Amino acid sequence: MFKKTLAFAVPAVVAAGVLAGTTAGAAPTQSPATSDSGRPHVTQAAKAAVDTVACDGGTQKKVYNRGVNGWVWAQEGSNLTIPGSLVKLKGPASGKDVVTVSFTGLSWVSASSEGRLKVLIDGQPMEPSDPFNGTVIYPGSGGTYIPQATQYCAKIGPGGHSVKVVMQAYDYGAAGTAYFYLRDPMLHVETSN
């Protein structure tokens, strides 16, 4: 019963993260202005500065769910492939299929550091994450645990393809060792035509 419930809960958690507008815990690239009511609103200039990625698919073809029970972590200087996150995909006979990836987990990052999460398809970072850093996760204040929900998308052609998730910690060259932890990470991969 738990496994079925978890598989259906992932899209809801991811949707909440997408509706929030940024990855939970990530520093926004722009500060929203505040209206008289105290609620943030986005200015026309901020709207124009946002890059968007279009990656629409049709009928769902295949779904893959991979999760880890407990903690996985990476220390500075290492790239850790999250266990179980390697998913092999078969492209269409012709044309393009759409691959949508959702990733969730509870994160903890060392102070004055950042966690970097890269969802790779055929070794290349999936959009919309930064090609060099991936999705950057910042520490909460006081060593807090922050839920993460991120989504990625790409188009694939015929042949074999692979998706995997890599994590790393980065501390801007400071002394000591930085750590990036994820608890119960869950990967959800869908292909559609």
Question: The whole model's pTM is what?
Answer: 0.71
What pLDDT sits at residue 44?
55
Question: Mind giving me the DSSP string for 69-106?
Answer: SSEEEEETT--EEPTT--EEEE--SSS-EEEEEEEEEE
pLDDT, tens digit (0-9, with 9 covering 90-100), for 145-178: 999 999 999 999 999 999 999 999 999 888 888 9
SS3 state of residue 8:
helix
What pLDDT sits at residue 3?
41
User: For 32-39, what is the mean pLDDT?
Assistant: 41
In CATH, what class is 2-192? Answer: mainly beta
What pLDDT sits at residue 107?
94
Domain ranges of the chain: 2-192
pLDDT at 42 over 60: no
Strands (E), 38-178: 40-41, 60-67, 71-75, 80-81, 87-90, 97-109, 114-121, 124-125, 135-137, 146-156, 160-170
